[in-house]
Amino acid sequence: MNVFTRLKGEIMRQKFLILILLIIFSVSPLFAEYEYTFSQFWDETVDFVKQPVKWEGQDYLKIGIVLASTGLAMFADQPIRDAVQRDGRVYNSGDFIPENRKIGDFKGESQKYFYSPAIVFGRMYGDLYSPIAFFGGIALYSLIFDDMKARKIAYEIGQASLYAGGTNLLIKIVVGRARPYTDEGNHSYHPFSSLFFEDDHAFPGGHTTAAFTISTVLSRNVKPLWAKVLCYLPAGLTFVSRIYQDKHWSSDNTMGAAFGYFIATWVVDKHEKPVVPDAKQTLMERIKYQPAMIGDAYGINLSIRIL
């Protein structure tokens, strides 16, 4: 392992620890006196872990569609990489330089749009700190203006990002797929690779997972169709940027996008499911009544919940 790889591993270790610390110190006190509490987060986390044993037919159908889509994308991995890398590439175990030169293990040519605003923004939107920024900013706004809608969004971004990020990292380690810039091909795998050895963490795409997690939560919490669509634009840029910068195969990001979407959807659904009446309620507990007045007549409105 060369000095650049060791340095990169140390940087990733620091990022990971910072992320965990920020989440722990932010989530606990922030909602302690409100709805969406840490105890609720813990209960829902346990439920999330148990989900595989609760899957039904439609869940397996969704999984099948995602796996099939990812499998098909694998056939296009190399052609897509060849197409987007035609204007030159910059690679070195994940680090890029803007000039045609070699410095140790650094080599390559800068791509035409490598530092373009769209590509850079796409990478940043899915970066490790993006969920923290969204969570912290929206949560702070919700506390200042006592906005429960914003509080719900912040909570869901933090919660879904933790679930998606944890699941993503676990699969990265187990699968150990080599990143494109290693030039090992799209069928090179090193299962159970080191937690901090980034070269073998291509699948699934982490930035794309984070981006689609954030975008899905935002999209689900806005009403206009155009706003829902707009929420996914940054995630689309992340998807493209990670391929363009030679960090991921297209199939990596296909799976990453699915992870972000479905995990965020589960989290939002968890907080928007209608209250189901308790089947054990007595008849009297199901009866609702209230005073009513129609013209000069007075009476009582009576309703009975039977389902």
pLDDT tens, residue by residue, 121-169: 999 999 988 998 999 899 899 989 988 899 999 999 999 999 999 999 9
CA distances (Å), origin 120, targets 12, 123, 137, 202, 244: 19, 5, 21, 19, 11
Torsion angle of the four alpha carbons 58, 64, 70, 71, in this order, in degrees rounded to the nearest 10: -160
Residues 6+ apart with CB under 8 A from 264: 156, 160, 164, 212, 213, 214, 216, 217, 220
pLDDT (tens digit per residue) in 40-64: 888 898 999 999 999 999 999 999 9
Q: What angle, rounded to 10 degrees, do the helices at 206-220 and 148-175 form?
A: 160
Query: Is the model's pLDDT at 229 over the cut of 50?
Result: yes
Instruction: Please tell me the predicted confidence (pLDDT) of residue 1.
Output: 46
Q: Which amino acid type is present at position 20?
A: I
Domain ranges of the chain: 3-277
**Between 40 and 178, where is the model more confident?**
178
Entry pTM? 0.76
- Cβ partners under 8 Å of residue 197, min gap 6: 5, 9
Most distant CA pair in the chain: distance in Å? 92
**pLDDT tens digits for 278-299?**
445 555 555 554 555 555 555 5
pLDDT at 196: 72
